[in-house]
Structure 1
Amino acid sequence: MRTLTIEPLSKAAFAAFGDVIETAGSDHFMINNGSTRRFHKLAAVQTATAEDQAILSIFRAEALPMPLTVRMLERHPLGSQAFIPLLGNRFLIVVAPAGEQPDTAQVRAFISNGQQGINYHRGVWHHPVLSLVPSDDFLVVDRSGTGNNCDEHFFDETHWLVLDPHQ
């Protein structure tokens, strides 16, 4: 099994998979009579049809035992999906480029600094949310509408990957 190298999350490194949602290095302008900086359009919600809606949810994630054997990835073909950490905790991200099925040779792993969120573009393969603390909350922005918006791909055992944040 290949052990994934965990990379620091950055806008440049993550660009092929989506957007990094962070204020560091992002343009802003002043609003509210100069008392507020607006970091505008850090990510765009993607939907497949005009009838779709962008929705906000909170996911409470529990940490999985590490090291983790990555046996599957999922994708959302009809809309983007953003995760913004609410409690300031670092979290892991495992992604692969969009396509009919994920290619394990192209799977990459990132770690958020706890002040960064991510927005997976439509169709990008990713592991479900990976908390590094026993319980963590994320603001999730994604799509609601008709049709199946979650495809799961389970790897055969010869393509499993290892994710070890302690290496």
Structure 2
Amino acid sequence: MDVSAPVVAHALVAQPLTRAAFAEFGDVIEAEGLDALAINGGKTARFDDLARIETLGEGARPVLSLFHTQPYALPLLAHELERHPCGSQAFVPLDGQAFLVVVAPPGDQPRADAVRAFWTDGRQGVNYRAGVWHHSLLVLDRPSRFVVVDRAGPGPNCDVAALDRPVSITLPR
């Protein structure tokens, strides 16, 4: 008979995604508040260098992919996170739908008390730095599509680890 105490979830309310709040985990991909370079006869505003793309290791290269993802219901009970130790991973929404970003600092194992959650405005993307623990894509209302930039090349580049206790994530009321 197991007499151990039940595992209690760590409760977390997602905060708005801002460059300052997300800086320790990577980059916020958005044009808001940035200066643009006018190109194509002034018909296009170009916003350069929005994220640092990392591809570590010999033979590594950046790849561009499309992800189609299904929604999750809230509150979300997160049990595990993943990380990519050999490269960054960027997600840019194509459908203007807000999504949740759940992260923890790099390290050997993610800890529930270090997990942070952010909600995007649907026009923002994120670029996780190499080694940052994160949840898989978390769209909430309807299926959504993302452009993804990450690393391809030799060697394993995805670690999945259980949290020391589940994290319950909600949005602010």
Instruction: Please indicate the TM-score interval, normalised by the length of the shorter structure.
Output: over 0.9
SS at 2:113 equivalent:
helix
Partners of 2:167 and 2:128 in 1: how far apart? Answer: 20
- The farther-off stretch of 113-122 and 37-46 is 37-46
Asked whether 1:63 is paired with 2:80, we answer no
Question: Aligned-pair RMSD on alpha carbons?
Answer: 1.3
SS at 1:105 equivalent:
helix
State the Cα distance separating 1:20 from its structure 2 match: 0.2
Asked whether 1:138 is paired with 2:143, we answer no
SS at 1:12 equivalent:
helix
Asked whether 1:17 is paired with 2:25, we answer yes
Partners of 1:133 and 1:64 in 2: how far apart? Answer: 8
Superposed CA offset, 1:35-59 (max 9, x none): 2211010002101024211111111
Which structure 1 residue ranges, 5 or more long, are not aligned?
A: none
Higher alpha-carbon Rg: 2
Partners of 2:19 and 2:136 in 1: how far apart? Answer: 20
Partners of 1:114 and 1:78 in 2: how far apart? Answer: 28
Q: Which residue of 2 aligns with 1:114?
A: 122
State the Cα distance separating 1:26 from its structure 2 match: 1.8
Where in structure 2 are the equivalents of 1:1-167 lying within 5 Å?
1-156=9-164, 159-165=165-171, 167=173
- The farther-off stretch of 112-121 and 32-41 is 32-41
Partners of 1:112 and 1:26 in 2: how far apart? Answer: 18
- Asked if the contact 2:109–2:163 (Cα under 8 Å) also holds between the matched residues in 1, the reply is no
Partners of 1:35 and 1:134 in 2: how far apart? Answer: 32
Give the share of equivalent positions with the same residue, in percent. 47
TM-score when scaled to structure 2?
Answer: 0.91
- Asked if the contact 1:73–1:152 (Cα under 8 Å) also holds between the matched residues in 2, the reply is yes
Superposed CA offset, 1:141-164 (max 9, x none): 1111011100001124xx111012
- Asked if the contact 1:27–1:40 (Cα under 8 Å) also holds between the matched residues in 2, the reply is no
What is the number of residues matched between the two proteins?
165
Which structure 2 residue ranges, 5 or more long, are not aligned?
A: 1-8
TM-score when scaled to structure 1?
Answer: 0.94
State the Cα distance separating 1:166 from its structure 2 match: 6.5
